Chains A and B, each alone.
Chain A
């Protein structure tokens, strides 16, 4: 499966990549929402792992922008954030996120979400 890991922290992107690559997936990295939208143009992904606090375009803005792009809107999104309060979870889910995980996350939880969403 092809994943897009969106996070302004390169360390966090690498950690997400390691967790997903360890399970046999392919991972492309993006630094923020705008970068992610650019990378989604012309390339198909099976799932997006999205941070919330990012410069340029944050995770919530990305989720909003995603709604207007039919090809991107159907790609499942797993939100991965340090802001794991209920209000943020509700907000992200309302904007179309499919799963919500707090940081620091456990690899098993991420892979369980992937399995639930993609069946792999």
Chain B
């Protein structure tokens, strides 16, 4: 498993599997993340996103398969390795008895080449909260502290696990511009998010995980295949809604308009968004899984005990 990495791959995963007892949280997941790339990992709750990201961060051990992160097996990553990572975990419940500035200054001291503390606080938009205790911040503001702690060490590889949960729209926009700056610096980023517009806005490539398996991977404007992106023309005729998939929507509208001899009612030309494509992928996977369970009977070992990601504490059970 030492030689699986491509020369420019910052993260390499081959046939990754994770089992909790009889439950297979991940099965045969393989992908690479290239240097400087922003890679989004998408999928419903409980699909295996967090399990994957936590295996790569070194928090969980894999059951089988191979993984390489910055050229190191994350199961045996040492301090030198950790100093090159930035980790923004899903939200935590720390006490927060220190001020934003004290917390950032302390974490900066753990890294060999940290960013400036005030500069980082300003970059996440908390300059006017620098002297406030973290416990007194709102949820969205605390999340910004998490992001600041993730980037304070000037990481080569940054993990962002649902980073914008609890952000207001303005904070999300600001966060996006911060990520664009980090990308411009050459930071490689692995992002999970439930906001498909965020994934489309920030990432170069994406993978969709559903039911513990990788169901699609590709450039953000190609994922799901060309067929899924064919535009739709919709209009209302005689009280019913019509939809036509076509590669030549302008021609379709022209001939429709000629045929009707009038302006078509409620006309729209619709190009499927990443969200539409994603939802189709997840739906197809769920239908396939349901068919599989029907075939196997209700005792299939892939039946999942809960619909949520295994959380840290629960995972010890």
Q: Do A and B bind each other?
A: no
Q: A interface vs B, CB < 8 Å?
A: none
